[in-house]
Amino acid sequence: MFELPKLNYSYDSLEPYIDTKTMEVHYSKHHKAYTDNLNKALENYPELQNLPIEKLLTDLTSLPKDIVEAVKNNGGGYYNHSLFWQMLAPKNGHSLEKPNEYVADMLNATFGSFDAFKELFTKTATSRFGSGWAWLVKNADDKLEIYSTPNQETPISQGKTPLLTLDVWEHAYYLKYQNRRAEYIENWWNVVNWDFAQKQLLA
Ligand code: MN3
3-state secondary structure of 51: coil
The rounded mean pLDDT for the chain is 95
Q: What's the CA-to-centroid distance between 173 and ligand 1, angstroms?
A: 9
pLDDT for res 110: 97
Is the alpha carbon torsion for 19, 8, 120, 154 positive or negative?
negative
Q: What's the CA-to-centroid distance between 117 and ligand 1, angstroms?
A: 23
Proportion of the chain above pLDDT 70, given as a percent:
97
Q: What's the CA-to-centroid distance between 109 and ligand 1, angstroms?
A: 31
Q: Going edge to edge, which strands form the sheet with 161-167?
A: 144-150, 132-138, 161-167
Please state, in angstroms and rounded to a whole number, the distance separating the CA atoms of residues 136 and 144.
7
Judge if pTM exceeds 0.75: yes
pLDDT tens digit sequence for 37-58 = 999 999 999 999 999 999 999 9
Set out the domains of the chain in order of their start, with CATH numbers.
Answer: 20-86 (1.10.287.990), 101-202 (3.55.40.20)
3-state helix, strand, coil in the chain (%, to 5): 55, 10, 30
Q: C-alpha distances in angstroms, 103 versus 41, 129, 139, 170, 187?
A: 37, 28, 15, 29, 21
Q: What's the CA-to-centroid distance between 199 and ligand 1, angstroms?
A: 23
pLDDT tens digit sequence for 95-108 = 566 788 899 999 99
Q: Please list the residues that pair with 132 across neighbouring strands.
A: 150
pLDDT tens digit sequence for 64-95 = 999 999 999 999 999 999 999 999 998 766 55
